[in-house]
Structure 1
């Protein structure tokens, strides 16, 4: 089985590298590609493919049946972590959604915070990192992947303590140290956006201070 999504392949590789146990719950699974691929590669022995909508769950069932994994990959309908509260699970992946929705999902079941999580938020990363810090999570690792001309960030987290400053929340405490090519590419693009904004704002505009602060932060991290 092949994963045609570079984003999902990066998550799969992260799970293979940092896996804890052999049972995965994939939240917002869509087509169940990730759990099916991980089982096919021998990374996991069982998975729950969970989604809040019936349409994606039907697609998940089709993927599972196509690869004859009905006994290993179990599709579950439900919101967030609701479907797995009574299931034996070693690790949880939550990918392909906004950071604020991810916070809602995590916050609804604090009793499950002792699991290892693989998180890929499409936006709201600063807010997500702030939530993780406040609720005693530790970022084990984080990285970026480019897929279809878009750069995604993902992180591996588990219970533990960490202290993040403003730059850590914005850029990621590990990503800002790695400063790999994708990191530089992402923030160079954002720097260009901010410079266009500042050029369009008249002198004395109240937003100029905020934009200039962002420009200086990005220039500093890219230096």
Structure 2
């Protein structure tokens, strides 16, 4: 079973930071990720969860195609509601916006205490990372991958009793990604720098967002200087 580059990068992090044998994949879409992990004997069981019947039906087709009916269980429901009574070790929430991911996590904050999370938000990563910081969730590792001209960042995190010292730059650029900057990191932020400069040029200095954009530009320039 072949995954997209994005899903393969997520799967690779799950392999690297595996905790237990049961995964819940929230917003599973076609259930490609849980089916891959089970078919490759990386985990024993998975719940493929989605809020809409269309993705659940697509998940059922994938599960049946690979004859995984006994190991990958499709569940219809919002966020983590379908797994409230399930035994789960790891939870993946991928392919959504940062704000929606935060809403899902915050609805059942009790899950944050005992599970390892694999998170991939398409936008609003600074919102997600700041929320994790406020919940004392330690970012164990991060990965960056390019798939079909889009650059994605993946976060592995879990609750910690240690004090976490993050800066504002960590929310935007990622505490782990900042320590090991690679080509894709610079590609993403050079592109963002041009986008933000274009936005700034379209705003009057009196505009409420002018100084916010200016501040972000300054942070980006500081982060990628010397690249």
Query: Shorter-chain-normalised TM-score: which range?
Result: over 0.9
Corresponding position of 2:187: 185
In the alignment, does 2:174 pair up with 1:172?
yes
Corresponding position of 1:213: 215
Shift of 1:198: 3.1
Distance of 1:60 and 1:177 partners within structure 2: 37
* Structure 2 unpaired stretches of 5+: none
Shift of 1:210: 2.8
**Residues 193 and 39 (structure 1 numbering): CA distance in 2 closer, same or farther, change over 3 Å?**
same
Query: What is the number of equivalent residue pairs in this alignment?
Result: 222
Q: State the secondary structure of the residue aligned to 1:2.
A: coil
When structure 1 is superposed on structure 2, of 66-75 and 167-176 the one drifting more is 167-176
Shift of 1:203: 5.8
**CA contact under 8 A between 2:9 and 2:143: conserved in structure 1?**
no
Distance of 2:51 and 2:84 partners within structure 1: 15
Shift of 1:8: 0.5
**Residues 212 and 58 (structure 1 numbering): CA distance in 2 closer, same or farther, change over 3 Å?**
same
How does the TM-score come out when normalised to structure 2? 0.93
Corresponding position of 1:48: 47
Distance of 2:51 and 2:223 partners within structure 1: 38
Shift of 1:195: 2.2
Distance of 2:102 and 2:11 partners within structure 1: 22
Q: State the secondary structure of the residue aligned to 1:151.
A: strand
Distance of 2:88 and 2:172 partners within structure 1: 31
Distance of 2:12 and 2:170 partners within structure 1: 24
Distance of 1:105 and 1:208 partners within structure 2: 31
Corresponding position of 1:6: 5
1:12-52 deviations in Å (ceiling 9; x for gaps): 11101111011111000010000000111111011000111
Distance of 1:141 and 1:157 partners within structure 2: 7
Query: Which runs of structure 2 are paired with 1:38-187 in the superposition (5 Å)?
Result: 38-113=37-112, 114-160=114-160, 161=162, 162-187=164-189
Q: State the secondary structure of the residue aligned to 2:61.
A: helix
Shift of 1:10: 0.5
RMSD of aligned C-alpha atoms? 1.4
Shift of 1:104: 1.0
Distance of 2:57 and 2:204 partners within structure 1: 52
